Structure 1
Amino acid sequence: MNSNELSRVITQRVACDWRAAYALAADPARLPEWASGLADGALAREGEDWVATTPGGRAVLRFAPANEFGVLDHWVAPEGVPEVYVPFRVVGVAPGACELQFTLLRQPHMDDAAFAHDAEWIARDLRALRALLEAPAR
């Protein structure tokens, strides 16, 4: 990776219908089950927003409205930091299979090491989401 890289799409193939993947991933209350970079504890609702305890502290989260296109975009506003736009999609690729597509946008303060660290963390969280989605129903 070099300092000219401004974005990176991180993908994860999942053996799950895209609608089921979307339904689980779009539920903010389920974020602590798989999104360790975004919510490492319970989320609380505050009006239209959600508040999470992240590894970096408290953050206010906003989510794209429910839709039929697999769009899971969200906005994260950590305390003392400008709000960050996070493009995220679930795309059906075959019957019973989908791909999670998360676009990491380099923030102005990120050096190469921080960008690489965030990319690795997102990949780990997407693997956790895949495991949750592919787990046998209980």
Structure 2
Amino acid sequence: MKSQHVSRVISAPPHVVYDYASNIENLPAWAEGLAQSEAVRNGDTLFVESPMGRVEVRFVEQNRFGVLDHDVTLPSGTVVTNPVRVLAHPDGAEVVFTVRQIELDDEEFARDVTMVEADLERLDRQVRQPS
């Protein structure tokens, strides 16, 4: 299994980036690789339509460390843990997302990395210029 770290520096304070990204209502605006619809909450589990089909998502609890880790249960039943960090950076914040090659061939993995890069670019735009 391969892993690849995808990062983006955002010109905003880390707490602003974290607060925006951790708000589930904002997921469809920036995380199209995960949520192509509003998230439906059932307890601490979210259900969203994704490019992979309907998936379950569980985020770690809100925290002061910038940790946005989340487990995604795929339609196959496989659980993928996605480590995500919002870190302080001299220019604002750096978001680091670890993409893992689980149930993906090399082409699909490359596509997932590209989708995460696009998601982080959207996050940057949304945080700097919220609609």
TM-score with structure 1 length normalisation? 0.90
Shift of the alpha carbon at 1:80? 2.1
In the alignment, structure 2 segments of 5+ residues that lack a partner are: none
**Code of the aligned partner of 1:99:** E
- AA matched with 2:120: L
- Specify every segment of 5 or more residues in structure 1 that has no aligned partner in the other structure, as ranges: none
Residue type matched to 2:68 in 1?
L
Give the 3-state SS of the residue equivalent to 1:60 in structure 2: strand
Return structure 1 stretches of 4+ with deviation > 6 angstroms.
none
Residue in 2 aligned with 1:26?
22
Look up the match of 2:111: 117
Matched, 1:81 2:77: yes
Q: If you compute each CA radius of gyration, which structure gives the higher value, 1 or 2?
A: 1
Q: How many residues align?
A: 131
Q: Does 1:50 align with 2:46?
A: yes
Cα distance between partner residues in 1 of 2:89 and 2:82: 22
Task: Give runs of aligned pairs for residues 1-20 of structure 1, distance below 5 A.
Answer: 6-20=2-16
Q: 1:129 aligns with which of 119, 123, 127?
A: 123
| Aligned-residue offset at 1:6 | 1.1
Identity of aligned residues (%): 31
CA distance in 2 between counterparts of 1:111 and 1:101 reads: 23
